[in-house]
């Protein structure tokens, strides 16, 4: 599978990574999915300390033990649950980050993390100490590089200006084209997008509208009413579905952007994973096809958290 560089780092990742949040807590099934990914050229695994409150990191760590040096391992920090009775709270402090990384390393059973990501963020955070924590972890050899996982423009702009992040993980799909507004700025700063949610909760898979939740049917999806969602998905399928599967259109559209280092869909089965592998290994979309997809979908923008 083709590899792409994350930012200006020495991390070269398969253009499709494996989002580990969907692996579940049954280790045997999770292991089959991860091993299938590795056997098919995927070298980029993305987890987070919050997923299943650490259990996801433990499972990933057990699976990769013998192939650690062959993969790019990413995890996230900032959502703290060790001092609250229920759920979690946001904590981007230096002291917590430097403590949490040791817990992640222990659960993952590794000596270093390739890409350590801040799992959210607000403009009110103390950016200086957060950045200082990541820079110290780099100098200590506990992480190789760092990035953020955020959709907030003001947070992204602050990190682009003040830190040495290599990536921003953003929700990006044909039904959520908001990141396109910021691609030029990110390219100028040599920072890559890692695209999560590229299949829009399954709406852009072959199952299409059958994946729509009750909430979607009532309130729509982002800027789409449910009727607009129906019309858009049906238009894409009717105009282009005879030549390409929906997930192929969705993933190839995202990968057509040079700002994107990787798409990171989740997978809860080997079959689902293989469908996405086939989709990203297909031939790229033509300029005409890309233009058609742009025409059929909305170019939306982030209206909040801009300044």
**pLDDT per residue over 247-289, tens digit each?**
999 999 999 999 999 999 999 999 999 999 999 999 999 999 9
Residue 215 lies in a domain: no
> What is the pLDDT at residue 34?
93
Domain count, the chain: 1
Residue 226 lies in a domain: no
* Global pTM value: 0.94
Q: What CATH number has the domain bearing residue 57?
A: 3.20.20.100
> Based on the number of CB atoms within 10 Å of its own CB, is 31 exposed (0-12), middle (13-18) or buried (19 or more)?
middle
Residue 181 lies in a domain: yes
Domain around 281: 3-201+245-285
User: Is residue 227 very low, low, confident or very high in pLDDT (cuts 50, 70, 90)?
Assistant: very high
Residue 229 lies in a domain: no
The answer to whether the CB of 140 falls within 8 A of the CB of 94 is no
Secondary structure (3-state) at 143: strand
Catalytic site residue from 51, 96, 146, 224: 51
Residue 193 lies in a domain: yes
Please list, in sequence order, all residues whose beta carbon lies within 8 angstroms of the beta carbon of residue 182, skipping any fewer than 6 positions away.
Answer: 153, 156
Residue 296 lies in a domain: no
Residue 207 lies in a domain: no
Residue 224 lies in a domain: no
**pLDDT per residue over 130-173, tens digit each?**
999 999 999 999 999 999 999 899 999 999 999 999 999 999 99
51 tagged catalytic: yes
């Amino acid at each position: 599978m083709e590899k792409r560089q994350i930012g200006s780092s020495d991390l070269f990742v398969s253009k499709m990574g494996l989002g580990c949040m969907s692996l579940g807590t049954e280790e045997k099934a999770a292991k089959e999915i991860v091993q299938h990914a590795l056997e098919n050229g995927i070298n980029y695994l993305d987890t987070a300390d919050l997923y299943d409150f650490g259990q996801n990191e433990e499972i990933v760590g057990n699976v990769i033990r013998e192939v650690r040096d062959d993969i790019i391992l990413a995890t996230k920090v900032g959502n703290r649950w060790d001092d609250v009775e229920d759920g979690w709270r946001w904590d981007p402090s230096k002291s917590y980050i430097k403590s949490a990384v040791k817990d992640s390393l222990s659960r993952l059973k590794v000596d270093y993390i390739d890409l350590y990501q801040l799992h959210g963020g607000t403009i009110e955070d103390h950016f200086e100490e957060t950045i200082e924590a990541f820079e110290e972890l780099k100098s200590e050899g506990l992480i190789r590089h760092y990035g953020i996982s955020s959709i907030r423009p003001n947070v992204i702009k602050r990190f682009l200006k003040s830190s040495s992040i290599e990536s921003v993980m953003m929700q990006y799909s044909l039904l959520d084209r908001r990141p396109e507004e910021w691609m030029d700025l990110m390219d100028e700063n040599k920072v890559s997008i890692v695209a999560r949610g590229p299949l829009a909760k399954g709406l852009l898979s072959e199952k299409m509208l059958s994946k729509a939740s009750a909430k979607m049917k009532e309130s729509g999806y982002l800027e789409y009413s449910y009727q607009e969602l129906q019309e858009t998905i049906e238009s894409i399928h009717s105009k282009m579905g005879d030549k390409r599967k929906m997930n192929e259109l969705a993933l190839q559209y995202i990968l057509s952007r040079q700002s994107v280092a990787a798409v990171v869909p989740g997978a809860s089965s080997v079959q689902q994973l293989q469908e996405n592998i086939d989709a990203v290994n297909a031939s790229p979309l033509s300029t005409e096809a890309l233009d058609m997809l742009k025409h059929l979908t909305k170019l939306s923008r982030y209206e909040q958290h801009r300044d």
